[in-house]
Chain A
Amino acid sequence: MKKFEPREFKRLLSVEELVYSAAERFGEKPLYSYIEDKEKRTFTYNDHKRCFDALRAALINMGLGGKTVSLCSDQHPDWITTFLSVIGCGGVIVPLDRELQAEQLAGFVSITESEALFVSEREYKMLLPYFDTLPLLRTVVIIGAHPKDEVADEKVVLFDDLIEKGEKLIADGAYVPGTFRADPHRLSCILFTSGTTGTSKGVMISEYNILFSIVQCCKMVSNDEHDVFVSVLPIHHTFALVTNHLAMSHIGATSFMNDSLKHTFKNITEVKPTCLILVPLFLETMDKKIWDNVKKQGKEKQVRALMKASNAMRKTGIDMRKTFFSGILNAFGGNLDRIIVGGAPIDPEILRDFDAFGITVVEGYGITECCPLISVNPLKQRKFGSAGLIADGLEARIAEPAETGDGEIQVRGGNVFMGYYKNDAATKEAFTEDGWFRTGDIGVIDEDGYIFITGRKKNVIIASNGKNVYPEELEEYLLKSPIIKEAAVIGRKGDDGIVITALIYPDKDAVGDIDEKELYEKIFSEINLINKGLPTFKHITALEIRDSEFEKTTTRKIKRFLLK
């Protein structure tokens, strides 16, 4: 295969340069469009720079420059402003998953010693009872619309008021934008890997890691300033944050912020994106929807015949897909021709379907610890079934390969994280003695530098929405039940993807004398109670009850490798 030539992109030295250079090049062009108070609004590249500077001025004035700040809100331009401004004045930003419960969110604010918290109204109301339990928390900032008369506490301020304050500081000369400098290799961001403080690892990322990853992403993909996105993945998700938001802002694209999962398909039809960044769950659902509609219209045979004819014509250089499949393409707005997908493995059949309809799906592979990009298929040099070409500037190797060539994928480069927050043992375990990061994924690298993932060393279960489910977290919840003595959670492959399965050894004394069916129902009702407090992708949907205890290691840990 011909060697891929990455695009030329200059190295970025600071988040300030990211914001400033984009404003200089794209000015009044919309960076975002979004819905607030049921109205469509626009946020330009110039707005981005103005708010970035104003928020930095306000944070420094309030003594929050260089401090740790937690962030938990829905998709909003203020989220991105907060993320970049905190880093841009030397601080540490902690983006949190808004699907977590209040107690868990408060736990993360506490262990990261956050002095400020940026939240949307929903999270503000959820966390209100916890504010008194967080002595280090000095300021709570509400993002988005919020009526002023409801703000009672003096530590609570509105985001818009902070921007106003910052602009005044700049106008008065009390803060001079463009003068802040800090070591780019310092800690700038902590990303947590799962839902509880007990089982989660905090991935420490530097400003340099983020900037390196943004440039890497821009070099590898084929997007430009004409691209329009609908951003549908949660904004704190590293894949969405770095690719859809930060890298695309460097390229000059415009994103519509999806206002609700319910409106995803409607928004895609209306906004007419040219490209989407998704996880496999969306493609699986879209593909199913397409075929359901085709079947309802009684056109399955006709469409399959057209796909064959179209594929054959393409081999001779004639591309009729826009004409043949206009009905399908119009459901996505009519302009969509690329989807970048990552986060979980995808069924190759779906890739073939989309390709035949005229939408190229580009697969990539990443991991939070690599901020996240490791590899991506270049648009015009894709390899089917591959997780893509190792990103420019990153080195990858296969450790101790078996005869088949499979082994652990290990990487080294500017986007590899600094270590785990307050967890030296896990950090030590994550790196080899010669400094390579152990991804925990098993794969092969071919002669052209393309990665093929074949397995996984870690316990983590990858849901089809690309999110990681850590068995240890679910086991922690299960073991709180008085009728469960031992528990292990695994991901079993089912017809429709991964089934999160609880393997349970019940506490026979606590359960009492009941038959098998009653026992199953009793344990499942406990599981349902746990599920109610969890985001859907973490729901335990299958149960297997064991008669005997799990086999354990000398340190009393369950031998997980025996459970598959």
Chain B
Amino acid sequence: MYEEFKQLLISKLEIDPEQIKPEAQLANDLGINSLELADLVLYCEDKYGIEIEDDALQSFITVNDVVEYLTGLVENK
């Protein structure tokens, strides 16, 4: 899941692959704003056939937070 999400950050938001690390902060290190994150989340919903609560967006601080959340949802599908 980490690799897939990393590829998404590179392809959708053109983020420098060097900067993407599990502990990288979405806003601080990667410059992703809440609207871009919401857009990414929507893409993941379509891709994995899952539904991500709007409230969850607020709790995503690092890349790993998103990856863990997505993994949990996909595994419990």
Chain A residues packing against B (C-beta within 8 Å): 99, 122, 260-266, 281-282, 284-285, 288, 292, 464-465, 495-496, 499, 528, 531-532, 534-537, 539, 541-542
Contact = CB atoms under 8 A, between A and B. Distances in A.
Contacts of A495: 31
A285 B33 contact: yes
B38 A261 contact: yes
A517 B61 CA distance: 21
Interface string B34-48: 111111011001000
A552 to B, nearest CB: 29
27 contacts: A99-B58, A122-B55, A260-B38, A261-B34, A262-B54, A264-B35, A264-B38, A265-B39, A266-B42, A281-B33, A281-B34, A284-B33, A285-B39, A288-B36, A292-B13, A465-B34, A496-B31, A496-B33, A499-B28, A531-B61, A534-B58, A536-B34, A539-B28, A539-B61, A541-B25, A541-B27, A542-B28
Contacts of A532: 59, 61
Contacts of A122: 55
Contact of B14 (A292, A499, A528, A539): A292
Nearest to B29: A541
Given A262-B39, A265-B39, A531-B61, A536 B27 contact: yes
A106 to B, nearest CB: 18
B48 to A, nearest CB: 14
B57 interface: yes
A260 B54 contact: yes
Contacts of B57: 261-262, 536
Contacts of A261: 34-35, 38, 54, 57
A285 B28 contact: no
Contacts of A285: 33, 35-36, 39
A541 B62 CA distance: 11
Given A539-B27, A542-B28, 12 more contacts: A260-B38, A261-B54, A261-B57, A262-B41, A264-B39, A281-B33, A281-B34, A495-B31, A531-B61, A535-B58, A536-B27, A536-B37
Nearest to B27: A541
A273 to B, nearest CB: 17
Main secondary structure of the interface of A (DSSP, over half): helix
Contacts of A541: 25, 27-28
Nearest to A542: B28
B42 A281 contact: no
Nearest to B60: A536
Contacts of B39: 262, 264-265, 285
Contacts of A542: 28
Nearest to B12: A292
A27 to B, nearest CB: 34
A261 B45 CA distance: 14
B15 to A, nearest CB: 11
Q: 3 tightest A-B contacts by CB?
A: A541-B28, A261-B38, A262-B42
Nearest to A543: B28
Contacts of B35: 261, 264, 281-282, 285
A107 to B, nearest CB: 19
B34 A537 contact: yes
A204 B61 CA distance: 35
A264 to B, nearest CB: 7
A261 B41 CA distance: 10
Question: Which residue of B14, B42, B58, B59 has the most chain A CB atoms within 10 A of its CB atom?
Answer: B58
A176 B23 CA distance: 62
Contacts of B13: 292
A535 B38 CA distance: 13
B14 to A, nearest CB: 6
A536 B14 CA distance: 21
Nearest to A266: B42
Nearest to A282: B35
A110 B39 CA distance: 37
Contacts of B41: 262
A76 to B, nearest CB: 14
A510 B37 CA distance: 37
A535 B28 CA distance: 15
Contacts of B34: 261, 281, 465, 536-537
A265 B42 CA distance: 10
A536 B58 contact: yes
Contacts of A281: 33-35
Contacts of A282: 35
A262 B61 contact: no
A263 B59 contact: no
Contacts of A263: 42
